[in-house]
Structure 1
Amino acid sequence: MASTPSIPPVNSPTQSQAPVEKPSAPPVHILPSKVARIYSFVHPGLILALGASRFQAVVANPAQELLQDLPWLALLQLFYVILCVPPAGSSEPGSSDNEEKKKPAARSPSSPGVTLRPGKPGLRRKPSSGKSDWSGVWAKLMPAFLSLALTSILATPVLSALLVLFGAPLTTHNAETLLCAAHMAFLSATGLIYAHGVDNSVWKEVWGIARPADAVWGAALGTGLGAWFGAIPIPLDWDRPWQAFPITILTGAYIGYAAGSLISRVPFVYGKRVQFAVEDTEEDEKKTN
């Protein structure tokens, strides 16, 4: 009696399919309007001008001057994100799909947008009442104010703790530490929260220094690196008044913000990620094994 051939077991769809990971958020584009593109280059200069113009006052009285400068920094950042950065949840600017959707369809003589009457020229639709314009403005104002609120409530305490962990005095200069953290938070976190919201996958990449380069992430990374290098002159025995905490840290943060936001938009840098040599060697070892 002939034996029947064995049929290999068929894997169920749940066994054969691996869990699909959420794709990484693409780099943030500057809005395509001419005003937004121009101001995106002017804004880093305004940030540097704010820091340079108040430098001597900060040296004379750090806590009081940093508190007075904080609203101006918040206003500049608020204006920047509203004018130049797409809010979280909006469609990517400049994509071909959106451009095709925005193109008006060709109207025929029988189109409902044109009313033809005997002996009279075509009457077009009345312009919109302006409600849609106000809704568009509100759609940017609301996430902008929320980003400032979350920056103040969440990012400032986190950066204050990090400053203490990296050597800021714990029992003294508490006002200076808090205000330094607030300035750094407004520089680094406002744009990130406005552009990405509270997306968990994006913030994992932020803390892992794995975001693709763009104006928002470059500014945040530049702020951190600038503050890091700005702390170098503090322990040196030069006996200069500007070496006091946190003057050089904030100076480095302001310079790093401006440099990072501009360098990250260079074509051969934009969209690239920071690569660590350790990860590269681990991947090579896995391939050889």
Structure 2
Amino acid sequence: MTSSNTSSAAPTPGSLSQAPAEKPSAPPINVLPSQLAQSYSLAHPVVLLGLCAWRFEAVVESTTRELLRDLPWLAALQFVYVITCLPPAGSSFGEVTPGPEDKKRASRSSTGSSAPVRPGKSSHRRKTSAKISWASVWARLMPASLAFGLTTLLATPAIAILLVLFGAPLTTHNVETFLCAAHMALLSSTPLIYVHGVDATVWKEVWGISRPADIVWGSALGTGLGAWFGAIPIPLDWDRTWQAFPITILTGAYIGYAMGGLLSRTPFVYGKRIQFAPGPADEDEKKTN
């Protein structure tokens, strides 16, 4: 009787239901290994902070006009930054087309025939290299264009709503709120969209603040934290013109962007995750102690 129950309870191959495997998390993003990318990735936050300091007095005098005037400059700097320093979505680190397979294919095509190379073949080689370079440029420009489009259509309205939820005026200063959101979206969302695309797993980690630290996530998180701390002087009764919304919020966002991106590249922070609660291993260790 016992053996019959055991045999009936045993799972059969046809009755097994395997749970879908969870998609692994995307690894931390590194700056491209070229000398230009490494150098400009360090100079870029300094340039942004210099632009913020240079335009600060003008923004205080005429906030709406100057924020609108500075927006194209910020977009241009971010565009140059992402295509120069970061790998686009769907590419492996440092391997933007042409990749190794393209190079092997090109070498086979150039050495596959035993016939001697004629002088007239040089123009064909130049055309091939030109095609490869144009393909490499297109592989960066297309994701960058999509990133800026999604930043404008999705990220900017979402950040504007978050600003209102966190205390920005709802019935007044609507233009200032939208311009502040546009600046913050270009700083934080554009690099994230460029390197991760619309990967749902990554964006769940972004909204859950559980991404491993890298230059992209660190800059985005620093932008949000900087804007949060930048709002502190607004309600204080210092009667300063620079306390008007959203001047201090944007100033904090720029400073947080620079500090977050630089700190996340250090060995002590890179690849680490923010933990709001102790994990199972930590809980077991506490129980044993």
The two structures, once aligned, show a CA RMSD in angstroms of 3.1
Identity %: 61
Which letter does structure 2 place at the counterpart of 1:170? L
Correspondence 1:56 to 2:60 = no
Offset of 1:101 from its aligned partner?
A: 5.7
- In structure 2, the CA distance between the partners of 1:124 and 1:78, relative to structure 1 (3 Å rule), is closer
> Would you say the 8 A contact 2:32–2:93 is kept in 1?
no
Distance (Å, rounded) in 2 between the aligned partners of 1:54 and 1:14? 68
- In structure 2, the CA distance between the partners of 1:282 and 1:174, relative to structure 1 (3 Å rule), is farther
Alignment of 1:204-283 (within 5 A): 204-276=204-276, 278-280=277-279
Equivalent in the alignment of 1:284: 283
Equivalent in the alignment of 1:161: 161
- In structure 2, the CA distance between the partners of 1:228 and 1:282, relative to structure 1 (3 Å rule), is farther
- In structure 2, the CA distance between the partners of 1:111 and 1:136, relative to structure 1 (3 Å rule), is closer
Offset of 1:32 from its aligned partner?
A: 1.1
Structure 2 gaps of 5+ residues are none
2:125 to 124, 127, 144: 127
Distance (Å, rounded) in 2 between the aligned partners of 1:204 and 1:111? 48
- In structure 2, the CA distance between the partners of 1:59 and 1:112, relative to structure 1 (3 Å rule), is same
Equivalent in the alignment of 1:23: 24
> CA deviation digits over 1:80-110, x for unaligned, max 9?
000011111112337xxx99768869x99x9
Count residues with an aligned counterpart: 277
> Would you say the 8 A contact 1:230–1:248 is kept in 2?
yes
Distance (Å, rounded) in 2 between the aligned partners of 1:115 and 1:179? 63
Which letter does structure 1 place at the counterpart of 2:30? H
- In structure 2, the CA distance between the partners of 1:13 and 1:261, relative to structure 1 (3 Å rule), is farther
Alignment of 1:137-152 (within 5 A): 137-152=137-152
Offset of 1:17 from its aligned partner?
A: 3.4
- In structure 2, the CA distance between the partners of 1:101 and 1:67, relative to structure 1 (3 Å rule), is same
> Would you say the 8 A contact 1:113–1:124 is kept in 2?
no
**TM (normalized to structure 1)?**
0.86
Distance (Å, rounded) in 1 between the aligned partners of 2:230 and 2:253? 7
> CA deviation digits over 1:6-27, x for unaligned, max 9?
7572442762633210000111
Structure with the larger helix share: 2
Which letter does structure 2 place at the counterpart of 1:182? A
Offset of 1:125 from its aligned partner?
A: 9.3
Distance (Å, rounded) in 1 between the aligned partners of 2:225 and 2:157? 19
Offset of 1:142 from its aligned partner?
A: 1.2
Distance (Å, rounded) in 2 between the aligned partners of 1:4 and 1:192? 58
> Would you say the 8 A contact 2:234–2:245 is kept in 1?
yes
Distance (Å, rounded) in 2 between the aligned partners of 1:253 and 1:198? 24
> Would you say the 8 A contact 2:228–2:249 is kept in 1?
yes
Equivalent in the alignment of 1:83: 84
Distance (Å, rounded) in 1 between the aligned partners of 2:111 and 2:161? 63
